[in-house]
Amino acid sequence: MINRIRTIRKDKGMTLADLAAACTPPTTPQTVGRLETGMRTLSIDWLNRIAGGLGVAPELLLASETRDAAMVVARLTSDGAEPLPSPREAVEPLAMLGDGAVHVVEVESAVGEYRAGDRLWMRDLPPEERARAINRDVLVPRPGGRFAFGRLIDFSDDNLALLPPGAGQRQIVVQSPPWIALAALLVRAL
């Protein structure tokens, strides 16, 4: 079975020992190395333990056998595109967003700094982290299955104040939303 344990572990800056210690229950770095290389079978139990240690969904650890993995082959600098000394597998967007539910907002028509066709990947924030979202774009649910999107400009225990991205739009106040999702990744097709 092809897996992406090593790719995701390295992208998160973790060593074999770090990942082994982060597993519940902890394991050994040698075992993690054997799972990465396929020398040991990646059972459902191991898949869940390793995914928990990495803080990703278990399905992200499995690579497609029918399609080659996307590779990071170059970096863009002020001098132009430079090849990487050794290309590496790119991590899927979900793996980069960490824990919590993920919501995707598709931009249908240009508004503010967003272009038609953009996709915003939003990550749920726990209530104690809401202060991190001040002056950043968020998505919050409203009654009746609707949503509010905009720059979070103020919040209290019961209310959130958002400034929509369009010019001349009025502030939106949402009372007691059950969750708030912070814009974490913008995907723009060229």
- Quick check: 135 pLDDT over 90? yes
Q: Do 54 and 105 fall within a single domain?
A: no
Give the residue-averaged pLDDT of 163-179: 90
Q: Do 112 and 158 fall within a single domain?
A: yes
Domain assignment present for 42: yes
Strands (E), 27-125: 71-77, 80-89, 102-106, 119-125
Domain assignment present for 86: no
In this predicted structure, what is the pLDDT of residue 188?
87
Domain assignment present for 72: no
Q: Is 119 exposed, middle or buried (0-12, 13-18, 19+ CB in 10 A)?
A: middle
Domain assignment present for 67: no
Provide the CATH number for the domain around residue 38.
1.10.260.40
- Quick check: 71 pLDDT over 70? yes
Q: What is the pTM of this model?
A: 0.58
Percentage of residues in the chain with pLDDT exceeding 70? 91
In this predicted structure, what is the pLDDT of residue 1?
56
- Find the DSSP H helices in 16-136: 16-22, 29-37, 44-54, 93-96
For residue 41, what are the domain limits? 5-61
Q: Do 101 and 181 fall within a single domain?
A: yes
Q: Do 112 and 174 fall within a single domain?
A: yes
Q: Do 102 and 49 fall within a single domain?
A: no
In this predicted structure, what is the pLDDT of residue 152?
95
> What's the domain count of the chain?
2
Q: Per-residue confidence at 129, pLDDT binned at 50, 70, 90?
A: confident
